[in-house]
Chain A
């Protein structure tokens, strides 16, 4: 019966919304500050950011090796 299945579907939506309404949220300024802090703390360990030199990056062109 489409009537009762609509009701069931609507009930699920309302339950989901009630659940989502209850969650704890922080201010954007706080969340943004934390994202920024994470970036800055890990910046030195980020090879694509710092531009790792050829000797440590396996993909960058290396000096030619010769067999002795």
Chain B
């Protein structure tokens, strides 16, 4: 062999042939699953090293892959995050018993990952049996986080509290569950000390306060405590003095008749909370008690007032004490005036979410308007994430807002009346959203609303080159709208559409696209079974699931959910879900 050649090839092979353990050591430092996915594509050696060192797997669509495939590829997983149902299931657009049951996964994990420590589920169905199974089978289990899940009750939580001896995190958020009793909290063993995160804010049953107090006293590493509404101010004070190390606090009810002495004690308790950077709960908070919070707000970066119907002045006074605020969630009871106060007090604000206090009452003329949003954009130049529910908006305001804050990554505007135009000009909101996509080049997530023609979507297709998630409702004029998006947005991953005039032609214009996306949802649109069948035939690696839309009588309307998968059609589909086969 030519010596120079052999040297070259030897060198080139040497470069990539780290000893495996070195490679694995290096790769084990990489956490981001996207980076890891990239790493695994370099070479077979790197693929193997990566798979052996991966500890955490994120599965954005539980049907895109099977637990067996996951276990086969990644032998050493300790932590799993699974997302199940389409996002529109949060809004009752998906019938119950649709699927996304975690049990199948748990069964495989019990076998393959007995050392599993963390499970984070979003929009999955979790039964009490599954929770009991989990508590029984995984002896090293530490972290359970359930967001927007359903199917379980507080009985299941009892099993978790009783049997998971090393539990560090129990995070129950906004689930549709059966809240039978608060007894689960009393199920933690007497000598239990490991809890670091406890969030039961969304449960309503009373818990045994003594048990809670004991738990908080014993768990010295407790950093995040979010209690539910049943906990009174007086009780809160007792908890706070036992846990001054808290970094995130969710209070209980913030309304109670306190004596002057109790009030002072409460004040002192909050003064003692020197490390708080997130605050939430505050049910029924009023002018009377909000001031006790002030001393604790200095370092606050996240304030969640979305369950506290504050008025403008109350908010103004509160945020005046929160100069470092980065994320704020409020109800629209604070109105534009409240938002103006935010604009002047919180220059570091990056995220604002304004929820409607009364989303269904169209008679009232309250809430926030374009002025509030505009004010915040003027005062908070770092703003990049907004979720804004309002009853009126104008193109001009939106254009100015993004001019003030061109760095938007998430722009979710919900004008609550479907199909409402610019209320001053009566024109569609095309130009407003056009301005958003033209100006905000980093835009990753967009939620549109109001009266929109195909022009909006042409703009999106043309300009939103970083867009990953798009939500559309009651908008558009023809297939052209949806086509523009599918053809124009190279990074699109999630597209959810409801009540729009997009039909088969639009659906099929995405043939080249869907395999690079996580999923597509279309409901109350104009697609027909025939169109879906065509899609299924031409793209066998997609699951094309259709459900009869029971709201529409013509027998031809379907809800369509399309997603890429390596696991084939799902085997647990209920009778009302039909997977179209090629």
- Real complex partners, A and B? no
Residues of A within 8 A of B (CB): none
Residues of B within 8 A of A (CB): none
